[in-house]
Structures are given as structure tokens and as C-alpha cells.
Amino acid sequence: MGNIADAELKTNSLMFSQSVEASYITSDMVCTMVNRWNSNGKPIFMGPKDFKERILTSDMDQEIKLNYMKWLTQGLDIDMFEMLSVLSLYARSSISARFRVLFKIYCIEQEGTMTIDEFRFCMGKLATSVGATLTIKKTILHELIKISEPRLVPEQQ
């Protein structure tokens, strides 16, 4: 039974990753999301429904079609730092525009420079977000190859 739950979690995580990749996200959109997040008091966690209603604007909702099953099936809240990081990394913008958005997310003191602790926190969240996405894709791909392998390799006589 644990394997079914693990498979469901991987599938839901993969569906989220694919929904992010398929969405049309710009750094301006993510900047607007960060501003809305700031005006909501910068909650560390938000439920999927709150995220959709408070952070995404109705215009963004037309372009950004995220799959929230990863959180809904487990009854978990979204880690806002990870979500905003993933969205900024997948934004269709220049690298410098993406870094400006990340700076806006992680420069908590708003001094114009990121402290060492803020930078470490930023790097940790980015590594977690990207690592989870790549691990899920690698695991799913490996499982698909394993399942397909007997069909691809002709039987020896």
C-alpha cells in the first residue's frame, strides 16, 4: 500500500512540474505575485485555494494553469518560498530578470543587499525546489524505462 501512495505522490509532483513548464510565466507576473504575497503579510505557507485567490490575479490565472494535486491529496500547504522560486526559475525572462525576482523574494531586510543568512536560505530553497523536480522526473523516467525494457529488448532464443 505504501508503494501506491509513493506512486501517487510522484505522479502528482510530476503533474505539478509539467503544469509549471506548460504555463506562460513572465518575471513581471512573478513580481506581481511577490508583491501580492508581501501585501498578504508574507505567509510562509498558504493553502492551494488561498494561493490561487490571493496571489494569482485573474489575468494570470488564464496563463498559469498549475496542478495543485501534490498538496490537495496530502492536505498540505504550499511552501511559498519554494513555489515562488520555482515560478521565477521557469519564467520566460532573462537570467538577470529572474535573479531580480529571487532577490525580491529572499532579501527579507530590504536593505538593498542580501545578508549571508538570506543568501544561504535562498540557495537551500532553490536546491530543494530544483532537486525535487529533477529527482521526480529522473525517477519517473527510470520507472518507465524499466517497464518498457522487456518490450524493447527482443527475446533471445
The pLDDT value given to residue 32: 94
The pLDDT value given to residue 20: 82
Please give the model's pTM, rounded to 2 decimal places.
0.75
Contact assessment for residue 43 and residue 108, using Cβ atoms and an 8 Å cutoff? no
Which carries the bigger pLDDT value, residue 134 or residue 14? Answer: 14
The pLDDT value given to residue 9: 58
C-alpha distances in angstroms, 116 versus 14, 29, 95, 107, 108? Answer: 32, 27, 21, 10, 12
Extents of the domains making up the chain: 2-140
Dump the DSSP string for 10-56.
HHHHHHHHHHHHHS---HHHHHHHHHHHHHTT--SEE-HHHIIIIIS
Q: What is the pLDDT of residues 73-113, one digit of tens each?
A: 888 999 999 999 989 988 988 989 988 999 999 988 777 88
CA distance 106 to 98: 12
* Those residues with Cβ within 8 angstroms of residue 46's Cβ, 6 or more apart along the chain or in another chain: 54, 55, 77, 78, 80
Per-chain mean pLDDT for the chain: 81
The pLDDT value given to residue 48: 93
Q: What is the pLDDT of residues 1-34, one digit of tens each?
A: 445 556 665 677 778 878 888 888 999 999 999 9
Q: How confident is the model at residue 140 (pLDDT cuts 50, 70, 90)?
A: low
Q: Closest Cα partner for 43 from 70, 16, 83, 12?
A: 83
